[in-house]
Amino acid sequence: MSSIFLPAYDKRKTSTGITKAPLILGMSPSHSLGVPYCMTTDIMHLAGNLSDLLISPWRRMIDCDATDAINSWDWAVLSDGAIWDTYGVSVHEAGSHLPGSFGTRPRNIAEKLTSGYKTWEFQLHTFGLGPILLYNILLDAYFANYCKLARGFQIMCQHSITTESLVSAQSLLCQWEHGFELNHLATETLRKGPPICYAQWTMERTIGNLGQEIRQPSNPYSNLAQEGVRRCRVNSLLAAMPELGIPPKGLPDGAEDLGGGYVLLRKRERYLFSPPMQETQAIQTFLGLDPDQPAPHFKFRRWARLRLKNGQIARSAWRETLKAVHNLRVSRNVLFSHLAQTRFGEIQYFARLPYHVDNPAEDYDFHNIALLKLYSRPDQDLVNMSSQTVAACTLTNTLIVVDVKHINTVVVMIPRRMTLPLGVEEDCFCTLSQPGLDASVLGIAYDIFEDEDDRDAGGDVDE
């Protein structure tokens, strides 16, 4: 607008990359935030770009002056070929501990980094597995700095973000690198909402789907345009008349709807099971029975799976331990509420305990329970050092029984042998939550019908 002559106009076009007025300026100001405030952040591609920004110096793969003393780069902890290969194997093996609800498991990054490593794999690696796997490898100062970025990015990927969390994310990202371009993420969220709600994941998937639907290679662009028009028509009809949509599948045969979004799913034990003494005592405690009295002789059938209210499928050690390791996607670790506290536990099995009720219509009802092994509380020093990205626990032998409706979500527990900040070396399990976990409250349900994850070598069960 301020260019008086054409040469000045051409020069400004070159310097800004703007060739003409954007179409969005034609929108009514009352229906638009206006330029530039309507421009959204892109956390999808940001995940890939930040991953490259971090991995390159760790591998000593950044451009530098010939006189730089690259051997003094103490942050280049993955520059050695053997260490890099071992790290890639660790990433691949950690994928077996990610439930199916986490999507595609990250592949061996040492083998696949330059041959199509996907953005979702980068996000799981850099902002989930990375802090766990790089602890005791990166120097403490670099590790703590990296965790500030990882934690801030984790917060910004949530579908629901509180004001307190936004303040924390802004502080962490500012501490990670003063004046870096990420500082605007939190402030833009106040104006536009959580970035994950307008990230490019949906658009990229749509582009891929439309590309798969091309049936005329000789005229692909025209064919693609027609596929897009057809999809828009279908979406318009579904928006105007939702009843045209195909109804979702019902529950599979043998499932028990427990209400509140919780559903017990088979496999179910064919014959009655008598729990051993320690499990019996845990059940007694749950039922409030006097431990000094003779223990009742419980008999029930065990269940393998439970659909949670957020759509995730929690499984049990009873069946998962029968699967081959290369087929495993561990889904038996959960976050649950117990005695007004939030704890981590490993589900051993689910069950229904019958009890008599004073109801003329029914003789008995059920306690729907889960038997769990407790994890210890996370090492607080490591939690603080890692800005809450690494919570290291140990699996105890303590058994407890809880109502299945006290189970909140499925979590990851990555096994690692590590030296804790106080110098104690031990075998730990590090927890990891699903990126954007509260996406599940939007009604995204995972397949509750049996698939590859539910096949095992055991018998004596009802499918």
- For the stretch 146-197, pLDDT in tens is 999 999 999 888 888 888 888 888 888 888 876 445 566 777 777 777 777 7
Both tokens of 343, joined, read: 């704890």
Look at residue 214 and tell me whether its pLDDT is greater than 90: no
pLDDT the model gives residue 294? 79
In this prediction, residues 20-33 reach a mean pLDDT of: 74
Highest mean pLDDT among 15-19, 89-93, 192-196, 204-208: 89-93
Look at residue 439 and tell me whether its pLDDT is greater than 50: no
Residue 132 · residue 416 · CB < 8 Å? yes
Look at residue 443 and tell me whether its pLDDT is greater than 50: no
In this prediction, residues 230-251 reach a mean pLDDT of: 84
Terminal Cα distance for the chain, rounded:
71
- CA 74/CA 83 separation, integer angstroms: 14
Both tokens of 446, joined, read: 């995972």
- CA 265/CA 449 separation, integer angstroms: 9
Look at residue 29 and tell me whether its pLDDT is greater than 60: yes
Look at residue 358 and tell me whether its pLDDT is greater than 70: no
- CA 163/CA 235 separation, integer angstroms: 35
* Residue 442 pLDDT class (50, 70, 90 cuts): very low
pLDDT the model gives residue 197? 73
Please provide the DSSP assignment of 191-222 as one string.
HH--GGGG-THHHHHHHHHHHHT---TTSHHH
Element (H, E) at 358: strand 341-359
pLDDT the model gives residue 102? 85
Both tokens of 342, joined, read: 């939030």
Burial 430-453 (b: 16+ CB within 10 A, else e): bbbbbbbbbbbeeeeebebeeeeb
Residue 385 · residue 140 · CB < 8 Å? yes
Look at residue 452 and tell me whether its pLDDT is greater than 60: no
- CA 450/CA 307 separation, integer angstroms: 12
SS3 state of residue 317: helix
Give me the long-range contacts of 109-114 (CB less than 8 A, separation at least 24): 109/55, 110/84, 110/85, 113/55
- CA 336/CA 387 separation, integer angstroms: 22
- CA 316/CA 351 separation, integer angstroms: 11
- CA 97/CA 410 separation, integer angstroms: 11
Cβ atoms within 10 A of the Cβ of 14, count?
10
- CA 117/CA 109 separation, integer angstroms: 7
| Number of helices followed by number of strands (H, E) in the chain | 14, 13
Would you call the peptide bond into 36 cis, given omega within 30 degrees of 0 as the criterion?
yes
Q: Domain extents for the chain? A: 43-199, 202-244, 256-462
What single letter denotes the amino acid at residue 257?
D
Both tokens of 245, joined, read: 């949509």
CA atoms within 13 Å, Cβ hemisphere of 115: 6
Residue 114 · residue 108 · CB < 8 Å? no
Give how far Cα 300 sits from Cα of 102, 283, 291, 307, Å. Answer: 32, 12, 20, 20
Bridge partners, 265 (sequence order): 305
pLDDT the model gives residue 321? 92
pLDDT the model gives residue 204? 78
Dihedral of the CA atoms 193, 199, 201, 202 (nearest 10)? Answer: 60
